[in-house]
Amino acid sequence: MKFVSCSDDNTAKIFDFATAKEEFSFTEHKNNVQSCEWHPTMSLVITGSKDQTVKIWDPRSGGKGWNEIAASHNMISCVRWNPINGNWFLTGSKDCHIKVYDLRKPSYEINVYACKEDPV
């Protein structure tokens, strides 16, 4: 079993749970990686960063073929896959917005929810 972690050193890392050894380090973000999550059924990882981007990448290909989405004008603090519709994911940001995207057209926002006061 594998798991993903994210860090203030601008990386997301894949570890083998049984051995607790790092298998891969994704280094394509330009600032702290605030949130990460493994797709519930596919070999994809989503990461959100202080660099205001979301990246979707495949650890099996060494992180190659990743998609970058300029998802906010502020820090991305949360990313999550939809566990029912695996094509959808959402981002939460410090600019008080939750955005819903479709993996098949990741540059297009399906919906945007504005929070009144607090960052997501």
Residue spans of the domains in the chain: they are 2-114
Q: Is 65 left (phi over 0), alpha (psi -120 to 50) or beta?
A: left
pTM, rounded to two decimals? 0.91
Q: Closest Cα partner for 92 from 44, 43, 54, 51? A: 54
Tens of pLDDT, residues 61-97: 888 778 899 887 889 999 999 999 999 999 999 888 9
Tens-digit pLDDT profile for residues 2-56: 999 999 999 999 999 999 999 999 999 999 999 999 999 999 999 999 999 999 9
Question: What pLDDT is attached to residue 120?
Answer: 67
Residue 106, C-beta contacts closer than 8 angstroms, at least 6 positions apart:
56, 67, 69
The CATH number for 2-114, chosen from 3.40.50.1220, 2.130.10.10, 1.10.540.10, 3.30.365.10, is 2.130.10.10
